[in-house]
Structure 1
Amino acid sequence: MLSLVLVVGASCPAVTQALPSAPLGSANQVSGTPAAMSFNDAASPCLLLMTARNAFSLAPLGTPAQLRKTCAAESARGNPAARVIYGQMVLFGYAAPPDKSGLAILTQTAAEGDARAQRLIGSLYREGYRVPKDPRLARQWLSRAAEGGDGRSAETLGLMDYNGEGGSVDFPSAYRLFVRAAGYGEPLGATNAGRMLFVGQPGVPRDEAGSVAWFIQGALQGDADAQFQLGMALLRGSAIVADAHGAAGWLAAAAARNQREAKAMLAELYLSGKGVSPDALRGFSLMTEAARSGLAYAQRRTGDLYAQGTGVTRNDVLALEWHRKAALNGDTNAQFALAVQYRLGQGCPVDFDAAIGWMRGAAQAGLAVAQNDLGTMLQAGEGTRRDIGEARLWYERASEQGLGIASYNLASLARAGLGEPRDLARAYRLARLGAQRGNAQAQVMLGGMLFAGEGAPADKAAGFAWYRKAADGGDREAERIVAMLYINGNGVPRDEKLGESYLKRAAMHGDAQAQTALAILLLKRPSPDEQSAAREWLIKAVSQRFGPAYAAMGTLYAKGEGAAPDQASALQWFTRGAESNDEVSQRILCLAYANGSGVAPDVVKAQRWCTAAAGAGDTLAMRQLATGFATDPPLPSATRAYWQWRLASNGDAAYELMLADSYDLGRGVAVDFGAALYWFRRAAEHGNVDAQSALASHLFSGLGGESDDLEALEWASRAAAASASAMDLTGEAYLYGRGVARNPQIARRWLEKAATAGSADAANELANVYQTGNGVACDDTLAAQWYRKAAALGSRQAAIALALHQQDDDGAVALTARARYWLALEGDPSTKAGGPTSTPPADAMQAGDRLDFDALSALNKALAGMPFAQIEMGILFWRGGGVMRDRALGDAWLRRAQSAFGAQPGWRCFVQPARIVEARVRAGLTEAERERADLLTENLLMTVPAINVATEMK
């Protein structure tokens, strides 16, 4: 069977391309779909072979030439319909080459008044098909046909006015012509009249009720577009009572006539079960039919269905393929979907270049979600260089369209000061905007800002209301926050039951933090069922690799909650948590390995986990590293100094003091008295009493900077209420007139108070007071008592005084090891050895890193003229204890001490014992060392004053 589709009754399909395209479900697209022309002459063999589709159906043995001959004969006999058909055969070349004489046949028939020929001639001039395009002639012939009652011609003239073909656009005229065509029974006229009223045009006011009336007329007359539009009107329920079932019926009617938009919308009804029984398979089938017809919307939705696995097995590759087709056809939502798939690697490898390209296209087309996501990609530098400035511009465009998440993103930038100065007030306004638009993240942010008073006055009630709104909307973070606020009674009356209900909701929504918190809450209860449930929640949280859940599991086994304690299992859980970067687990392991709590002490593991936890900001771990471990080998002093600095930098006075000590002692850092003075001052200003005392000591001595007795006394006075050292410094200030008028009575009271509080230096100073009669009567007995107390408290100079008292001319043999050390009775240092030949007893000198600092303190006192300190320095230099060994310098200090003792009546009893010690030392010197010792002695005698306790002295 041979078929031929003729243009009889056709109107120009290109006309509709000049009109605004309509989104699926709209009614604002005027169209001119071809319709059949009626031929009703049952006696005509030519017409009897016409089908309903304006095509010819040949007899089994017939040929096109025979059909043409039949129609030519009937045309010659004057049959108008046959003449129209035969004229087209000749003009278009059916069964013979095309011949313009066919136009003459058609023109003659049209001139005789045949509306079908008139419409055909008008359409040919409108299209410029086989004749020159001529809108004027087209209008003339179509007008003659319309005046004769031809509805399709009137409809075509309406399209020409609507598009401005051959003249200006004239919407009122177009509407009148569509109405006229509808009056002639042309369904397309009714459909297009309805479309114009639905949208409204200049000169044609919008009238939705009127548009529905026209759609009903067109639908009843069988126009598929009108049936589609009527179905959409019934779905919308505006200007007509909503009727989803009726809508489905009209959409089905249109779909049966291959109206592709109707197929797509009917598919949506089957997918949603609206107006029809849910049928995902039927919905998918209809959607793919519409997609294959080239409808971009249906192509995108087919991609969605493949991505979701709705009505078909999920297939990300086919989803990507259909999204790409729709995207290439200009569907903005498909471009966005395609960008997301490339960004996430769904159905393809991750391709940020492709993702950013499609995302930018959708954003530039005005899709708000694409504008927002393009902003996030620019902010993160995905597929392009990081550009927060451009990201903000896209967020702003999306926010201007009312997208709440974009407002939230803008608020986040302003709150953090990213790419712009930090502006909490602006962040608050934007968060509020996003919250009002329904974005849960913005609601949570707004709640937090109101709780904290960021960008606006604190208002916990209002903040809680926003938290609750987000929680009631299903946001799991908000559910968890609301739960904890209820449980703790923060900003809302305490309600543990209600809080637990929100916590369960967040846990069921998969929030690992809520699952862990709920488990901890249930573990406190005696019910075995609740403890079992707690364990299940922890297992769920652990499956998400939530670090604190590991710590909770470890605690569960460590404490034996709901089961017997199992330290091995607890250690395993804590270790897993620590390896998952859980700060709590790392801190627990840090302290356990450092202190040997439940495990064998292990400095390597302790340092590893303490460092990890400290690096995450855990203060307890920092403190453990700053103070060191009770393990062997000890933690490196440089490591301790670093963490002391971290804590001190955060304003922790205790560690400011500790760091100052480290600089004083060269413990993990180079000795730096200036740095020590800086950190002592910071700790002192933060109220640390020990630091205030240490700062006063440094200022009195000038260690780390210029001495300042006035400021030193001020700091000593601040600390004197609680610090024995500060009491001693205050007493010495009054004793020697440092920063205050000399007053031995006040001095003695402070020194006695300090000595009673345990100050060895104060007890030693009191011994000196009674020994020399400084403001009191000389009293050798009281002096000896105070020297013994000072020595017992650890004063080396008091120990030297006692040793000198005990020594006789023969060197005394019944002396303690401590006394023998200071009297040079043992351990004569070899000139070839690298260090002292004897180690001082434990009570003779402090061990460790204070050795050097104590030597320095003694040196300061020796330089100030204190003879017992000069004896101390002599023995230290001779032995190399805390200072570089220099036997000649040691002898020189011992000789300088003799002069200092001789300068004060109360101390003259020590001259001979000191001379014996010096002689013992000098006997072991080489000749060269003796010569150098003599030179050094002369220098010391000229530069180091002898202290005069009766006058002011610094």
Structure 2
Amino acid sequence: MAAAREVALTVVNAHLGDTAAQVTLGKMYVQGQGFDQDYKVAMDWYNKAAESGNMAAIGEIGFLYYSGTGVPQDYERARVCISLAAERGYWPAQLRLGKITPLSTTTTTTNQAASEPRSTQGDKAVSALSEIRQAIANASLEDTDADVAQGDKYARAQGVDRDYKAAMGHYLKAAERGDPTAQNRIGDLYRFGNGVTDDFSAAMMWYRKAAEQDDPAGYHHVGQIYEYALGVPLDNDLAMEWYQKAAEKGYAPAQNSIGGLYYLGRGVEEDCGKAMEWFLKAAEQDYAEAEFGIGLAYTINQGVPVDNEIAMEWFSKGMEHANDVLYRIGLMYYKGLGVPCDFSEAFKWISKAAQYELLPAMTDLGLLYTVGRGIDLDYDQGRAWFLKAATKGHAPAQCELGFMYHEGLGVPVDYQSAYEWFLKAAEQGVAAAHGYIGNMYHRGRGFPQDYAKAEEWLLKSAELGRAYAQREIGVMYFYGEGVPQNQALGFEWCLKAAEQGDDEAQCDVGNMYSLGQGTYQSDIKAVEWLRKSAEQGHAKAQYELGDAYISRKGVARDIDAAMDWFRQAAEQGHEQARVTLESLQNSERQRSEE
């Protein structure tokens, strides 16, 4: 535990600019202590410290060049760095100084050094170090571009199976070197919940890092956070301010967004003329969304006269540059982002995008069919679209296909097929798939019950933030199902799930507080969590909440409130609630007759 704390402190101090910590962190990466061995990252940290004049860092850079570890072997650069570090008192460099060059070279170098003024030697060392720093910077830039490109391949399934976790790993390496593109990409992963639990605060943090580097995409993304109220209060004025920063740099998406604010009158007076001006700026850069917007304006007499011929020209241009714009429009209608939530419109746009074999669109189209949103429920169509995307390696589609076989949705229940598809998705880091496999081992579905494997898979899912898995692993620990009983740990996991809105977990947490099991006893906290669950329609929680009103546990006695909650539970088939409700109604009837 102490070692972990030391590692954490070293990382924090290194990021805060402590050069000694930066050197220590570099050595940890070289030696593979606390982290996977990574000479490139080590060199990055040494370079940061060297830029501040840390002699230990300069010496360690020399050692890497001498051995050719993580960098091309270069004895001259090694000699310059180690000599400079030794001269300034870095004793490991002093120990190695006599061993860094062949004897003949050493003699010549020593004689030359003796004949040169000390100031000239210093100038040469500084010059050589400057060259080394530039070489390191260039190598770092190349590594950064490579990491972003590799991250994009995994995120977009370009020649590899889609793997958001792998994409995140590459983006993080580039982002730590200050690359704004990588920082924006990480923000997108958090914003859309790709490979991670969606987290608008984390998205905003990464977008701001990019914006702080005067990056137009970063500016635009921050503006979108404010316009769509993603984890922050709606603020169209701030959105416009950020969009303008990006638009001033000629960034087409921001120009289009400013046009949208004028078009809809958000934070500014509605002005279709100005909106059209901004849309045209973006369209001049072949920005598909703006081209579609202009085409739409020509069909509905907004800012320009109706002219279907011109509209078709703009729509055609938009289709040439569309990429995923159709899908994004569909998502906006589905989530109600900037437009009223409309599942029919979402279906229309997502189905158009799916025709272009955009894998996320194909998967979401399958979901719309299987839940009957925007279209009549049709399991066959849903499965067909899932299968198309799943066979192309799209992990969410593989997970959904597994779920259909697991639940028998439009097909006979087939646990073997379910497991095979879940496994494909789990191998790409889909948290839900880990959870489903864990559940199958927990319940003995498709193969013999195996609590050890259930725990292994559920923990993977729970640690990735899947509420269902957090609740299930919590129940296993709480009751000791195949694992040593640990009610406190069970409570912790159930609480994580409850905080994500899982109604079953909220009911469990309420009961744990009521009984004082796994946590302290509190009727008030019990009622708080039972109410959250009951308001989501959980019958057991509704019954327990009704009982709390009868027995004065955490709330004042209120027969009417109790009867209301018992009635809601009874309507869902909760037998005890029905019996209790009838008893209360009879008691009320008798009192009124007396």
TM-score for both structures, normalised by structure 2: 0.50
Alignment TM-score, normalising by the size of structure 1: 0.32
Higher gyration radius (CA)? 1
Greater relative CO (CA pairs within 8 A, separation 6+): 2
Greater helix percent: which structure? 2
